[in-house]
Structure formats: structure tokens, C-alpha cells
Amino acid sequence: MRTPRETILAALHARLSALPATALRGEVLPERVPAEGLLILRDGEPGETEVTLSPLRYHYQHRAEIEAVVQGAARDIAFDTL
């Protein structure tokens, strides 16, 4: 069974996969970038736990990062398109 964190990250990756650029998750930057661009989803770290005492709750703020790479003469337009 997937954890809620994994479910959310998988859904974010699915949304990125719908874009015209190639979407990867947790991969190393390849030597060649596709012409349409490249998006790499980095899972990030869950960060420090915050605790609420009444009622007892644990809160995490998790930040995932998206690395966007485009190349070529029209890279500004390609980046805006993403």
C-alpha cells in the first residue's frame, strides 16, 4: 500500500508527464536533453516535525522540487511554454 506522501508525489509526476516535455522522477540529469525539454521531479525531504499538543498531531511540510531544462536558441519561449 502506498503512503500518502508517495501517492501525492506520483500524482504530481503524472501531471508533469502530461506536459510536452519529458518528465522523469529522481533521475540524474542525462547528457542529452530532448528538444521539447526535460522536467525532473526531485522528491525532497519531509523536513522537521511540528507537534500540536491538544489534540496531539504531527505536522510535516514536504517540499518537492522540479528541475526544468530546455536548450536551443528558442529556450526562453520553450521555458515559458512549460
H-state helical runs in 1-82 = 4-17, 75-81
Q: Is 74 left (phi over 0), alpha (psi -120 to 50) or beta?
A: alpha
Q: How confident is the model at residue 59 (pLDDT cuts 50, 70, 90)?
A: confident
Q: How confident is the model at residue 56 (pLDDT cuts 50, 70, 90)?
A: very high
Give the per-residue pLDDT at 77.
Answer: 83
> Which stretches of the chain are assigned E, i.e. beta strand?
22-25, 38-42, 50-53, 56-59, 65-69
Confirm if 69 and 33 have CB atoms less than 8 A apart: yes
Q: Is 33 left (phi over 0), alpha (psi -120 to 50) or beta?
A: beta
Which pTM does this prediction carry?
0.79
SS3 category, 67: strand
Mean pLDDT computed over every residue of the chain: 90
Give the per-residue pLDDT at 24.
Answer: 96
Q: How confident is the model at residue 61 (pLDDT cuts 50, 70, 90)?
A: confident
**Structural domain boundaries in the chain:** 4-81
Q: Provide the residue count of the chain.
A: 82
